[in-house]
Amino acid sequence: MRIETKRLGATPISRRKWLAAAAGLALGLSAFGPAKAADDTIKVGVLHSLSGTMAISETTLKDTVLFLIDEQNKKGGVLGKKLEAVVVDPASNWPLFAEKARELITKDKVSVVFGCWTSVSRKSVLPVFKELNSILFYPVQYEGEESERNVFYTGAAPNQQAIPAVDYLAKEEKVERWVLAGTDYVYPRTTNKILEAYLKSKGVKSEDIMINYTPFGHSDWQTIVADIKKFGSAGKKTAVVSTINGDANVPFYKELGNQGIKATDIPVVAFSVGEEELAGIDTKPLVGHLAAWNYFQSIKTPENEQFIKDWQAYTKNPKRVTNDPMEAHVIGFNMWVKAVEKAGSVDPDKVIDALPGTKAPNLTGGISEMLPNHHITKPVFIGEIKADGQFDVVWKTPGLVPGDAWSKELEGSKDLIGDWVTLKCGNYNTVTKKCGGQGT
């Protein structure tokens, strides 16, 4: 509550009298309920783009957090208090993410934030969460090379998505030539740097790797797809590994169809195309192409079937789909609730300390665990796109894979580990035995 003070015209008032009056006013106001209403709820920040190029992917994540809050409130909330969502729209504008994050933490006094999709948005908000010592749950597959004390990464690291996808294509599809196609920002560039190093370590020659980047929202794919088609005509089995993000995927796949590129000729394995992106678009050009995720709606488990049922009831839409980043929010949210209850507080330091070792069921039948590096254990699945926009699982890991914060494929990272439990360090060098990365 803000109290506006007016200048007292010609009647001066002593400082002592002013302080006494102010104290009396404060005492009087304390009797009114609204002054302490903020203490009656635990506020949860939702930081997802509801407009702009990433809205196609992020809007449903906002809805997911609202759904999870609603479900938790039905159980009585957390620590005897109801949860209250505070939703903002950073509008696919990366600097605006930082501004909105600061607003959520300082003005709205949220205890935790669930948000971001692109790595550039996550990188934008990192300094804010560190400075203000708040907590971010990040639910999307990313490039790794990071382990921050204030961030919990519930999406896949490269060893939980990109590397297994390439292994699958090489072994099962006999792929020998590789197109690494991505949107021009940090996640695709770093992931492709990792994949290029990995492929070369497996004996793939430079001339058998084509790398291409396009801006967010790119729509004219004719020349690029023609180049991919030409690259794939060299007599070796070719595949596209796609880190294309957001609404640019729609014209990309459409152009593949226009130029007669079938999944049997040049399969595409995508890291950012799931059920939500496929909903409501013509899936004919995509049938048979692949996606690598840690969850698919089509996976039959009691947990998943119940979640889908509850989600569709909440949204009042029997056709509303689920997807991988949604599941990551489910896991992260449930871990946060457990950690808050264990800590008996929403104090960030106590919750951060309580989170490693916390376990929560995933929707595909396993139990995920938060690791000391603030990443989680996840299964990996390769799915083939069907005409109805769902996926047939064609491959999966035998168990859950622990997320690596640092890539073994990159020279500057291979000796680094993140450990916020014992070492209290996100980039500990196992060779130099120092915190702070390579050679420091």
Query: Does residue 176 sit in the same domain as residue 193?
Result: yes
Query: Does residue 82 sit in the same domain as residue 142?
Result: yes
Alpha carbon distance 396, 383 (integer Å)? 9
In a domain, 395, yes or no: no
Query: Does residue 152 sit in the same domain as residue 165?
Result: no
Query: Does residue 253 sit in the same domain as residue 306?
Result: no
From 269, 293, 317, give the residue that closes a domain. 293
Count up the domains in the chain and report the number. 3
Query: Does residue 276 sit in the same domain as residue 166?
Result: yes
Alpha carbon distance 273, 278 (integer Å)? 7
Q: What is the pLDDT of residue 13?
A: 36
In a domain, 325, yes or no: yes
Query: Does residue 152 sit in the same domain as residue 164?
Result: no
From 293, 313, 345, give the residue that closes a domain. 293
Q: What is the pLDDT of residue 27?
A: 40
Q: What is the pLDDT of residue 36?
A: 38
Going by C-beta distance under 8 Å and a sequence separation of 6 or more, which residues neighbour residue 357?
Answer: 369, 370, 421
Query: Does residue 281 sit in the same domain as residue 332?
Result: no
What type of residue is 265?
Answer: D
pTM, two decimals, is 0.88
In a domain, 327, yes or no: yes
Give the H/E segment covering residue 245.
none
Residue stretches of the chain with pLDDT short of 70 = 1-38, 438-440
In a domain, 340, yes or no: yes
Which residue in the block uniquely carries the two structure tokens 């089995």? 237
In a domain, 401, yes or no: no
In a domain, 322, yes or no: yes
In a domain, 9, yes or no: no
Residues 256, 169, 215, 57, Cα dihedral to 10°: 90
From 245, 272, 293, give the residue that closes a domain. 293
Residues making up the chain, counted from first to last = 440
DSSP H helix total and E strand total for the chain: 12, 19
In a domain, 28, yes or no: no
Query: Does residue 133 sit in the same domain as residue 165?
Result: no
Query: Does residue 103 sit in the same domain as residue 137?
Result: yes
Query: Does residue 255 sit in the same domain as residue 330?
Result: no
Query: Does residue 271 sit in the same domain as residue 337?
Result: no
Query: Does residue 283 sit in the same domain as residue 203?
Result: yes
Q: Which structural domain, as residue segments, surrounds residue 151?
A: 39-156+300-379
Q: What is the pLDDT of residue 438?
A: 59
**Max alpha carbon distance in the chain (Å)?**
94
Kindly report the CATH number assigned to the domain that includes residue 68: 3.40.50.2300
Residues 48, 52, 57, 63, Cα dihedral to 10°: 40
What is the separation of C-alpha 389 from the centre of its chain, rounded to a whole number of angstroms? 22
